[in-house]
Structure 1
Amino acid sequence: MPTVKNLKPNTPWVELKTTQADWDAADPALLQNAIVQLHLIRTFEEEVLNLAGQKLINGPAHSSIGQEAGAVGSALPLVVADQINGSHRGHHQFLAKVFNGVNPDGFTIDGEFSDEVVDVLYRTMSEIAGLSDGYCKGRGGSMHLQWKEMGAMGTNAIVGGAVPFATGFAWSHKQAGTDNVAVTYFGDGASNIGSVLEAMNLAAAWDLPTLFFIENNQYAVSTNVFEATGEPRLSSRGIGFGIPAWRVDGQDTLAVYLATQQALEHMRSGKGPAIIEADTYRYFHQNGPFPGSAFGYRSKDEEAEWRERDPIQLLEAQLIRRKLATREQLDDLAARCVKANKDISARLTEADPDGKPGALRIRPQLWPSPDFIDVNIRGELPSLEGLTVKDTADFTEAELEKRKFVDVVADVMNRRMETNDKIVVMGEDVHKLSGGSRGATKNLADRFPDRTLGTPISEAGFTGLGGGIALDGRFYPVVELMYADFIWVAADQIFNQIAKARHMFGGEHPMAMLLRMKIGTTTGYGSQHSMDPAGIFATSVGFRIIAPSNALDYVGLINAAMQTGDPVAVLEHDADLYKTEQLAPKDLDFVLPFGKAAVRREGADVTVISYLSMVQRCLDAVEQAGVDGEVIDLRWLDKATFDWDTVGESIKKTNNVVIVEQGAQGTSYGGWVADEIQRRFFDYLDAPVARVMGGEASPSISKALEQAANANTPDIVAALNEIVKGN
C-alpha cells in the first residue's frame, strides 16, 4: 500500500473580520474620510444611472452601487505613486484613488467640497457621457477611465484584460527601486480567465508588488460564482501560486482597509504579490438602472438581505455609536453629495428643444469634434535631429562587413541596452540557450541579467506585462514572441490592450515598446509556427510595423522604431534571413529615415512591391522573367508610415503593379495595399493590381506541401509574365 501524506500550502490564506476593538481603535479622521467618499461615490453612481435611464449615456453604465466599501477601503492606504487599474465596473475605484490624490488631507463630514473634488466629479461624469472635458476626452466612456498622473492607469472593458498590465506597473516599481505597488481590481468572472492566472504566476515568480483585488460580487452578468467554479472562495487562487491571500467582508470598509494595510506591508517589504477577496454585492444588473431580480437570475429576497448590510449604513452606525457624527450630520452629508452630483449633471445637460416637456439632452458644445476620431492613434513621429540618419546608398564598402543576420539582430540589441539602461528584453528562453532558440538575444543575459527576463510559457501574461511597462513609461520593453503564430495566444493583450491604449485613453500617453516575432515559413514547423502576421497588424489599429529584408536595414529600422512612442511590431524571418550571411553595418547607432521605402531595382514595366525575404525573390524573379521591373522594399508596413510617395511615383511610371508576399491568403497583407492603390492611382493603372501570395491553407510539415502553400519565385515570375507580357 502506498503511503499518503497530507500536504500543506506554503503560503497563508486567511479570513479577516473586524471586531468592536478594531472599530474603537480606528482613527476618527479615517472613518470620516471614508464615509464622505462612500456617499460621494454612491450619489455619483446614482446620478449616472439617472442619466442612463434618460438615454443620455451612450453605451453601458456599469454601476458599483453596493460595492463602494471595497474601493474606498483599499484606496485609503495608497499613495499617489501607487498605481491601480480595473475592470468595466470601475467608477468607484477610479474615484476613490483620485479623491485621495487631489484631497490628501482627507474629507471631513461637515467640510465643503473643494474645487479639485468638484472637478473630479465633473470630468469623470463627462467622460462617462463621452464628452470632450472627460479625462480621456470622451473616447473612454464608462469603461475606460484614466488619470495616469494620479496613478489611475485605466479601467478596462475586457474582463480580466487589465490584469497583466498591473504586473508591468509592479515590475517598473521594483526595477526603479521604489516601494510602490500596483493594485489591479477585477471580479469573480475574471478570476477564471487564463491571462489573470498567468499574471498571478508571473507576479509570484518574480516577486512583483502586485495586489490582485477580487471583487466577488457573486455574479458574472447572470452566472453565479457557485456555477462558475468548484471553489467559490476565490482567494484560494493564491495557494496555487504561493501568494498570500486575505478574504474579507466587502461591505465592511474598515475590514477592507485593515486587510489592505497588511497586504501592503507584505508587498512594500519586497515579499511579492498579494490577493484580497472582498465578498460583496452589486445592487443593480450588469449595467443600467434595474436590479438583477428584474431579469430573473436572482431573487428580491436575496437583494434585500444584502441591502441590510449596506456599506454606508454599517459605517454610519459605527460613527454614531462612537459619537463621531450625528444622524443629522450624516443626512446633511448625503444631501450635499446628492446636490454636488446633481449640479454636475446640470452642467452637462439642458432642455431638449425637440423632446417632450422635461426632456434633457447633452449640451451640444460639450461633444468632442468628429475630427478628433483618428487623432493620436499613434504618436507624432519625432525629430531625428542629433542622430545619424543614413540609408543604404550612404554606406561605403569599408563601413560594411559580412555577418550572419541573426548575429546582427543580437548585436544591435546589445548596443541599445548598453546605451540605454531603461530597455528590458523578455520572452521565452531569451536568457538561455546562448541567446534564445535562434541566438537572437545572444550575450544579453550575461551583460544585462536584471534586464533580460526569461519568461514562463505564458504569452498573454508576459506580453501584457510588457504593455504595462510601456504604459507606465519609465522603462522600454522589448517583448519577443518565439513565433508569430503566438500572437493569437496573446491576442487580447496585443490588439485590445497594447494597440488601443494610447487612443482610447485620450491619446496623450506614449506606448513605446517593441514586439519582436519570428516568422517560421520554410522551417518545416507546420501550420502553427509559419504565419506571416503583417496583414493582421496592418489591419488592426495602433501598431507601427517594420519588416527588414537585410541586416543593414535591421539595424537602422530597429534604431528608428525605438525613437517612436508607439508599439512597434518587428517581423523577423527565420530560415530565409536569420541563417544568411549578409553585408552588415559596423555602425550600430545609425537610423533609417521614418517611412521611407527602398527601391532595390529601378525599372519601367511593372512596380513590384514586397517586404522581408520576398524582396530577394522578387529581384530574382524579375531577372528570370526578363521584364524591366521596379522592385520596392517597403520596410515600413503600417498605414501611418507607409511610403506612398515612392510607391506612387513608381506606379505613375510603370502603370502596372504586382504585390508579393509569402503568407497565406486569409491573413494577407497585400489586400489592403491593393485596395488603397486602386483608390489612389486608378487612373494610372493599365491592368488590375496583381497579387502573389500563399495558398488558403497554412503550410504543412511535409516539405512538398510546405512549398506548395507558400509563394515562391516561380509564382512571381508567372505573375510578371502575365501582367507585362500577357502570357
Structure 2
Amino acid sequence: MPAEHRLEAKVAWSEFVATQDDWDAAAPDLLTGMLSQLVLIRTFEEYVLELAADGLIHGPAHSSIGQEGGAVGACFALTTQDTVNGSHRGHHQFLAKVLAHLHPTGIDPAKPFPEDVEAVLLRSLREICGLDRGFSHGRGGSMHLQWHEAGAIGTNAIVGGGVPLAAGSAWAHRRSGTDAVAFTFFGDGAINIGSTLETLNLAAAWSLPLCFFVENNQYAVSTHVSEVTAEPRLSGRGPGFGIRSWKVDGMDPLAVHLVTQQALGHMRRGDGPTLIEADVYRYFHQNGPFAGSAFRYRTKEEEAQWRARDPLDTVVRHLVRRRILTKKAVAETVARAKALMSGLGDVLLEARPGGKPGERRIVPSEWPDPAFVDEGVRGDLSELDGIEFTDTEDHTGELTDVKFIGAVAGVMGRRLETDPRVVVMGEDVHRLNGGTNGATRGLSEDFPDRVIGTPISENAFTGLGGGLALDGRYRPVVEFMYADFMWVAADQLFNQIGKARHMFGGEGKVPFVLRSKVATGTGYGSQHSMDPAGVFATAAGWRIVAPSTPFDYVGLMNTALACDDPVVVLEHVDLYNSTGPGLPDNYDHHLPVGKAAVRREGAALTVLTYLAMTPAVLDAVEQTGVDAEVVDLRWLDRASLDWDTISRSVMKTNHVLIAEQGALGTSYGGWLADEIQRRLFDWLDAPVERLTGGEASPSISKVLERAAFASTDEVVAKLREFAREQNHG
C-alpha cells in the first residue's frame, strides 16, 4: 500500500487578533495619532465624494471610506525611509504614509491641524481634481498619487501593476545596506493577477524586504471574492511561496499596527518578505458616492454589519473608555477636520458665473496650461551635458574589425566596473558562459551580486527593474531572451515604465535599459522571432537604439546607460557572430542621441534602414549597382530620429525606400513613411516605398520562415524594380 505523509509549509501562517489587554497597553499617543489620521482621511474622502457628486472630479473617485484602518494601522509603523505604493483605490494609502512622514509621532487631535498637514491635503486635493499645483500637475489624478520625499512611490490604476515596482524598491533598500522596507498595497482582485503571483515568488526567492499588504474588501467591483477563488482566505497564498503570512481584522487599526510591527521585525532582520491580509470593507461602490447595495450586488444588511465595526468608531470607543479623550473632544476634532476641508475647497472653488445658487466650478487659474500636455514625455537629455560624443571619423586609424558579441559583453563589463549603480538581470544571464548568446560572458564571475539570473517571470523582473529605475539609486539593465517576450511584460513596459515620467508630472527619472534580442532566421518560430521596433515606436516615453556595428553598440549602449529615460537597445542574432569596425580597447566612447550614420553616399535613392538590415542593404546595393544612399538610422524613436540627415539625403535623391526585416503588421516603417511624406512632400518625386517581411510572423519551417522576412534578396529585387522604373521614366 502507498504511504502518504502530511506536508507542512516552511513558514507560519496565522490569524492575528488584538485583545482588550492590547488596547489597554497601547500608548495614548499611538491611539490619538491613529485617530487624527483616521479623521483626516475620512473627512478628506467624504469631501472628494461631495465634489464628485457635484461633477467637479473629472474621472473616477475610488473612495476608501471604511478601509482606512488597514492603511493607517500599517503606515503609522513606518519611517520616511520605508516606501509604499498602492492601488487605484489609494487615497488612504497615500495619505496615511504622507501624514506619518510629516508627523511620525502623531498629530494631536486636541489642537488645530498643523500647516504642513493643511498644505499636503490641499496639494492632494488639487491632484485629484487634475489641477496644476497637484503632486503631478494634475496628470495623475485620483489613481496616481506620488510624493517620493515621503516614501509614497506611487499608487497605480492597473490592478496588480504596482506590485513588481515595489519589489524594485525593496531590492534597492537591501542593496543599499539600509534596514528600510517596502510595502505594496493591493486588493482581493489583484491577488490572482499574474504580476502579483510572479512577484510573490521573486521576492521570496531573493529574500526581499517587501510586505504584500492585501486589502481584502470582499469585492472586485461587484464580484465577491468567494466567486473567483476556492480559498478566499487570501493570506493562504503566502506560505505556498515560502512567505510568512498573517490574517488580521482590518477594521481594527491597532491589530493591524501590531501585526505590522511583527512583519517589520521579520523584514528588518533580513528574513525575507511578508504578507498581511487585512479584511476591510468599502462602504461605497467601486466608484462614486453610492453604496454597493444601490447596484444590487450587496445587501443593506451586509453593509450595516460592516459599518457597525467602523475603524474610526473602534478607536474612539477605546479612547473614551480609557478616558484619553471625551466624546466631545472627538466631535470637535471631526468638526475641525470638516472645516479644514471646506476651507481648502474655498481655495479651489468659486461660484459658477450665471449658475444656480450654490453651483460651483474650479477656479480657472488652478487648471494646468494646455501647452503642458506633452511636456515630460521624456527628459531634455541635460543629464548628458559634459559627455564627449565621438563618431567613427573621430577615431581614424584606431578602428579595427572586432566581433560584435565581444563588444556587447565588453561594454557591459566596463560599465559594471566603473558604475556601481549598474545592475544586469534576466533569464540565464549568470549561466551558460554569458547567457544564451554570450552577451554577458565573464560578468557573473566578476560581479556575482550585480549580474542576476531571474525566474522565468518577465512581468516580475521587468517591473522590479522599473522600480529600481524609479528609486533612482540604480541603473537596471534588463535582458529579454527574445523580443517577443515584451508582450508578456507589456503592462510593465508600456503602462508603467514608459508612462511613469509623464504620468507623475514629467520631472522624475526612469533610467532603465532593456536589451531585446531579435532572432529572425533562427528557426524559433512565430513567438520568438519578432522585431519590436515598430511597437516601441508607438509607445510614448521610450527611446530606441538599433546598433549595426560593434563601434555603434558600445557608443549607443554607453549613451543609453547615461540617459534618464527608458531605452530599449535592440540586438540581432545575425550580428552577434559578425565582425565590424570597433575599438578593441576602448569601451568608454559615446555616440550622441539622434545622429544617424550614412553608410554609403548616393544620389538616386535614399534607403533608410537599421540593425541587421543595414549590411543586407549594403550588400544588395553592391549587387545591383543602384546609386543609393544608405542611412543607418541608429536611433528609431520619434524624439531621437535624425531628421537633419534624413532631410539632406531626401533633398538630394528625391526618392525614399524604408527597408526593414520584420512583419508588415508591426512594421516600423509605417509611421516613418507617413512622417516623411508630411515633412518632405515637396522634395519627393514618388511616394515613399517600403520593404518589409510578410504579414504573418515567421514559421518554424526553414522555407516558410525565409519567405516571411526580408533580407538581401528582397532588397535586391526592390532595387532592381526601382532601377527599371527609373529607366522606363
Whether TM-score is above 0.5 comes out as yes
Q: How many residues align?
A: 725
**Conserved? CA contact 1:607–1:656, under 8 Å:** yes
Matched with 2:285 is 285
SS of residue paired to 2:445? helix
Residue 309 (structure 1) aligns with: 309
Q: 1:541: how far off?
A: 1.2
Please give the alpha-carbon distance, in whole angstroms, between the structure 2 residues aligned to 1:382 and 1:127: 27
What does residue range 368-407 of structure 1 map to in structure 2 within 5 Å?
A: 368-382=368-382, 384=384, 386-397=386-397, 399-407=398-406
Looking at structure 2, the residues matched to 354 and 686 of structure 1 have their Cα atoms a distance apart, in angstroms, of: 58
By how many angstroms is 1:583 displaced? Answer: 2.8
Match of 1:240 in 2: 240
**Per-residue deviation at 1:105?**
3.6
Give the drift of 1:581: 2.2
Q: Residue in 2 aligned with 1:296? A: 296
1:118 aligned partner: 118
Q: CA deviation at 1:104?
A: 3.0
- CA distance, structure 1, for counterparts of residue 605 and residue 242 of structure 2: 62
- Kindly report which structure 2 residues correspond to 1:389-538, keeping only aligned pairs within 5 A, or say none: 389-397=389-397, 399-538=398-537
Residue type of the partner of 2:656?
Answer: V
Partners of 2:625 and 2:432 in 1: CA distance: 45
Paired residues of 2:30 and 2:105 also in contact (CA < 8 A) = no
SS of 1:303 mapped into structure 2: helix
Alignment of 1:86 with 2:86, yes or no, is yes
Matching of residue 210 in structure 1 with residue 210 in structure 2: yes
* Kept in 2: contact 1:690–1:723 (CA 8 A): no
Per the TM alignment, residue 714 of structure 1 is displaced from its structure 2 partner at its CA by: 2.6
Partner Cα separation in structure 2 for residue 164 and residue 112 of structure 1: 39
- Name the amino acid aligned to 2:506: G
Q: 1:579 aligns with which of 577, 580, 588?
A: 577
1: CA distance between counterparts of 2:321 and 2:386? 68
- SS of 2:152's equivalent? coil
**Displacement of 1:119:** 0.6
Match of 2:609 in 1: 610
Matches within 5 A, 1:677-696: 677-696=676-695
Residue 82 and residue 409 in structure 1: after superposition, are their counterparts in 2 closer, same or farther (change >3 A)?
Answer: same
Higher mean C-alpha displacement, 328-337 vs 338-347: 338-347
Q: CA RMSD in A?
A: 1.0
User: 1:703 and 2:702 equivalent?
Assistant: yes
Q: In the TM superposition, what are the counterparts of 1:170-209 in structure 2 within 5 Å?
A: 170-209=170-209
Query: How far has the Cα of 1:402 moved from its partner?
Result: 3.2
Question: Counterparts of 1:570-719 in structure 2 under 5 Å?
Answer: 570-574=569-573, 576-586=574-584, 587-719=586-718
Return the offset for 1:139: 0.4
Matched, 1:231 2:258: no
- What whole-Å deviation, never above 9, does each CA across 1:473-513 have from its counterpart, x for those lacking one? 10110000100000000000000000001110111110001
Question: Which residue pairs with 2:251 in the alignment?
Answer: 251
For residue 18 of structure 1, report the CA deviation from its aligned partner.
0.7
Q: AA paired with 2:473?
A: R
Amino acid at match of 1:255: A
State the TM-score, normalized to the length of structure 2: 0.98
SS in 2 for 1:215: strand
How far does residue 724 in structure 1 lie from its aligned partner after superposition? 4.6
**Cα distance, 1:388 vs. partner?**
3.7
Q: Is the Cα contact below 8 Å between 2:422 and 2:475 reproduced in 1?
A: yes
Residue identity in the other structure for 2:396: T
Mapped to 2, the partners of 1:372 and 1:241 lie a distance apart of 45
Structure-2 separation of matches of 1:372 and 1:384: 24
Residues 145-184 of structure 1: matches in 2 within 5 Å?
A: 145-184=145-184
Deviations 1:300-349 (A, max 9, x none): 11001100111111110000000000010011111111111111122111
2:531 partner letter:
D
CA distance in 2, matches of 1:502, 1:217: 31
Tell me if the contact between 2:182 and 2:211 (Cα under 8 Å) persists in the aligned partners: yes
Deviations 1:397-430 (A, max 9, x none): 3x23433211210010000000011110000000
Deviation at 1:396, TM superposition (A): 2.7
Cα pair 2:132 2:138 within 8 Å, conserved:
yes
Which residue of structure 1 aligns with residue 132 of structure 2? 132
AA paired with 2:246? W
Contact 1:656 1:723 in 2 (8 A): no
Using a 3 Å threshold, how does the CA distance of structure 1 residues 612 and 354 change in structure 2: closer, same or farther? farther
1:142-196 per-residue CA deviation (whole Å, 9 max, x = no partner) reads: 0000001110000000000000001100000000000000000000000000100
Displacement of 1:355 after TM fit?
Answer: 2.9
How far did 1:619 drift? 1.2
Letter in 1 for 2:201: N
Residues of 2 paired with 1:707 and 1:15: CA distance? Answer: 60
The amino acid across from 1:68 in the alignment is E
- Cα distance in 2 between the residues matched to 1:68 and 1:523: 55
- Identical counterparts, % of pairs: 61
Give the whole-Å Cα distance in 2 for the aligned partners of 1:383 and 1:171: 25
State the SS of the aligned residue for 2:340: helix
Q: Which runs of 5+ in 1 are unaligned?
A: none
Structure 1 partner of 2:344: 344
SS of structure 2 residue aligned to 1:525: coil
SS class of match (2:155): coil
Q: Distance in 2 between matches of 1:659 and 1:581?
A: 25
The answer to whether the Cα contact below 8 Å between 2:32 and 2:109 also exists between their aligned partners in 1 is yes
Q: What secondary structure does 1:320 align onto?
A: helix
Query: Aligned partners of 1:121 and 1:657: how far apart in 2?
Result: 56
Indicate if the aligned counterparts of 2:82 and 2:180 stay in contact, CA closer than 8 A: yes
**What's the secondary structure of 2:130's corresponding residue?**
coil
> Take 1:418 and 1:563, find their aligned partners in 2: how far apart are those partners?
15
Give the residue type in structure 2 aligned to 1:175.
R
User: TM-score normalised to the size of structure 1?
Assistant: 0.99
Contact 1:388 1:589 survives alignment (8 Å): no
Tell me which amino acid in the other structure corresponds to 2:369. S
Any conservation in 1 of the 2:76–2:104 contact (CA below 8 Å)? no
Q: Which secondary structure does the structure 1 equivalent of 2:515 belong to?
A: strand
Shift of 1:386: 4.5
Q: Distance in 1 between matches of 2:237 and 2:723?
A: 64
Q: For the residues of structure 2 that align with 1:268 and 1:51, how far apart are their CA atoms?
A: 41
Aligned to 1:55: 55
Q: In the alignment, what sits opposite 1:24?
A: 24
CA–CA distance in structure 2, aligned partners of residues 581 and 109 of structure 1: 72
CA distance 1:354–1:564, shift in 2 (3 Å) = farther
The aligned amino acid for 1:70 is G
Counterparts in 2 of 1:715 and 1:170: CA distance versus 1, 3 Å: same
Shift of 1:382: 2.8
